[in-house]
């Protein structure tokens, strides 16, 4: 159960007000440019562990920009209503492994928890402050203070796949390409074994291509980033809320970037099979837990709004969209962009985009989002973020997931005592794992299990250490890896799926993985010599020196 001090933040403005009250938010009244300048200011502040920033005077827009709201452990915990991530992990553990009550008193003690569970599903209401102002025919994405984060965002002269370079080159005329050009473009894509699922589908068709029709209007590098992209599966009705980047291409046109393993892309494929337009909504803000819920690696079919209710301590109120009523959005959102994607329509070139890997993700083909309405509060904030070389704000969103989902990982792999996703690994590149070693090759079993566990399957490198090692100390883990590993005996190399953004992978989304067994070796694990003990001072001497410390004048 939640601590008695928890007060849920029903909207982003109340969260920002609390940050300001605690001295965790700084207002910037000087005019700033959303093109690069906000990123440079933010990047310096977030890397210094500085405050949330509220830019009140953003060039080209009347809407203030809120950024870095989740940029420290303390602020992330405040948004989630806990003093520490482990507190929330314990709540998750109780939810997935509840102890059966054995007495009447135990049953009575369980009643508050059961009542809380019953109150978690989202509640649909008729009205919400997110619809105080409604724009349909005059909806204009370019009126939002969307950021261009990095210098080459949207620049199609660099950081593009070979097939995109060929498309741009072939787009000199507006007429469809001749069969030879189409075939050359198709071969360019297939020969490089890369490209989005939308590019592959387009190039697998026998229909002639019109390269000019795939070019984005203009060369905007401005993006919606801290998004709650809300979709529903057309058959099951399952809702998904994902944080996907959206490139602004015009007043009523955008490009939706999602990867093939995302639930939003899975919903898109279902609409395409049915030959139906896909309704989409993008909300900004709402309850302070919503941005985190949108990033959680929940299994398909688990509603992020339900999980947000669990985090929030009560039902999230949703309101139907005004132009896409099949989709419901948080009633307390700051701004909502409503629209649709037509799977029968050709995709559009999206990107490049400076990503959380510290590199540009390359331009490729993604679906067009057509805007049908924009609704907002009377005086909204525009919550946003920047991704790039770590640490960034998304590091703390990921760190919360690492801690909160430890109990779920332990249900799948009971051997795991603890784990850490180090900052330099950008979430998907590296995992340090602690086990209590009990039998030969247990570390290899754990590696294989992790490579089969949901989104942990994308982990490129795993280091498994013994239970006495602090997995949150990279130097301690690397010391064990270098001291305890023989590269020929203790390294596992496998093939499997990788993150789409891994530019080093030989194939887009697939490649090699490596596991290091940095545990103490047992005699039956191959050629193993006598294993020495690690150096450790006796507890008696440690206690003695601690008692006498003041005598030594060392401070």
Give me the active site residues, please: 355
Q: Which residues pair with 431 in a beta bridge?
A: 462
Which DSSP symbol is given to 35?
Answer: B
Whole-angstrom distance, CA of residue 434 vs CA of residue 457: 18
Structure tokens belonging to residue 108 = 């009575």
Going 521 to 524 to 526 to 529, the CA torsion angle's sign is positive
Instruction: Give phi and psi for 483, each to the nearest 5.
Output: -80, -35
Q: Which residue has the tokens 């990123």?
A: 39
Q: Give ∠ CA 349-231-201 in degrees, rounded to 5.
A: 40
> b or e along 259-294 (b: 16 or more beta carbons within 10 Å of the residue's beta carbon)?
bebbbbbbbbebbbeeeebbbbbbbbbbbbbbbbbb
Whole-angstrom distance, CA of residue 69 vs CA of residue 91: 24
145's CB contacts (< 8 A; 6+ apart) are: 34, 58, 60, 61, 63, 65, 382, 384
Going 468 to 474 to 476 to 481, the CA torsion angle's sign is positive
**Residue 551 burial (C-beta neighbours within 10 Å; 0-12, 13-18, 19+):** exposed
Contact 372, 405 (CB under 8 A): no
**Residue 237 burial (C-beta neighbours within 10 Å; 0-12, 13-18, 19+):** exposed
Q: Which residue intervals of 405-452 are DSSP H helices?
A: 406-412, 442-450
Going 534 to 538 to 544 to 547, the CA torsion angle's sign is positive
Specify the pairing of strand 368-376 against strand 333-341. antiparallel
């Amino acid at each position: 159960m939640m601590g008695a001090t928890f007060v849920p933040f029903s909207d982003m403005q109340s969260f920002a007000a609390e940050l300001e009250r605690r001295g965790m938010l700084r207002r910037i009244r000087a005019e700033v440019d959303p093109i690069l300048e906000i990123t440079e200011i933010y990047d310096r502040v977030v890397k210094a562990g500085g405050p949330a920033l509220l830019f009140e005077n953003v060039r080209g827009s009347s809407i203030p920009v809120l950024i870095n709201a989740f940029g420290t452990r303390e602020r992330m915990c405040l948004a989630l209503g806990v003093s520490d991530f482990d507190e929330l992990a314990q709540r998750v553990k109780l939810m997935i492994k509840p102890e059966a009550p054995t007495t009447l008193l135990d049953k009575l003690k369980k009643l508050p928890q059961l009542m809380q569970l019953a109150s978690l599903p989202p509640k649909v209401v008729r009205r919400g402050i997110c619809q105080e102002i409604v724009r349909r025919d005059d909806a204009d994405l370019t009126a939002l203070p969307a950021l261009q984060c990095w210098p080459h965002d949207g620049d199609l002269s660099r950081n593009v796949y070979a097939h995109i370079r060929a498309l741009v080159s072939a787009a000199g005329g507006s007429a469809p390409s001749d069969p030879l050009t189409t075939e050359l473009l198709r071969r360019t894509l297939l020969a490089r074994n890369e490209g989005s699922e939308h590019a592959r589908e387009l190039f697998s068709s026998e229909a002639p291509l019109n390269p000019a029709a795939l070019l984005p209007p203009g060369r905007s590098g401005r993006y919606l980033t801290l998004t709650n992209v809300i979709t529903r599966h057309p058959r099951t009705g399952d809702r998904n809320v994902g944080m996907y980047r959206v490139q602004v291409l015009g007043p009523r046109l955008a490009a939706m970037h999602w990867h093939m393993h995302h639930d939003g892309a899975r919903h898109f494929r279902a609409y395409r099979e049915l030959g139906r337009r896909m309704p989409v909504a993008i909300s900004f803000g709402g309850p302070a837990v919503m941005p985190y819920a949108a990033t959680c690696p929940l299994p398909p079919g688990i509603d992020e709004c339900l999980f947000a209710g669990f985090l929030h301590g009560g039902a999230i109120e949703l309101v139907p969209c005004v132009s896409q009523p099949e989709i419901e959005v948080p009633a307390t959102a700051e701004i909502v962009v409503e629209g649709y994607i037509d799977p029968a329509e050709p995709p559009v070139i999206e990107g490049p985009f400076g990503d959380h890997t510290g590199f540009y993700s390359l331009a490729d083909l993604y679906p067009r989002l057509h805007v049908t309405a924009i609704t907002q509060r009377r005086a909204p904030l525009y919550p946003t973020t920047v991704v790039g070389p770590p640490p960034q704000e998304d590091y703390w969103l990921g760190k919360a997931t690492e801690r909160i989902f430890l109990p779920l990982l332990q249900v799948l792999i009971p051997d795991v005592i603890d784990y850490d996703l180090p900052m330099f690994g950008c979430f998907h590149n590296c995992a340090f794992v602690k086990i209590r070693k009990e039998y030969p090759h247990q570390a290899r079993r754990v590696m294989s299990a992790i490579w089969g566990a949901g989104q942990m399957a994308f982990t490129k490198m795993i280091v498994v250490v013994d239970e006495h090692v602090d997995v949150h100390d990279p130097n301690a883990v690397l010391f064990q890896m270098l001291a305890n590993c023989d590269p020929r005996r203790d390294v596992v190399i496998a093939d499997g799926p990788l993150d789409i953004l891994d530019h080093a992978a030989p194939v887009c989304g697939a490649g090699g993985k490596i596991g290091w067994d940095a545990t103490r070796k047992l005699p039956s694990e191959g050629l193993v010599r006598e294993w020495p003990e690690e150096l450790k001072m006796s507890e008696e001497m440690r206690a003695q020196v601690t008692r006498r410390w003041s005598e030594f004048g060392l401070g």
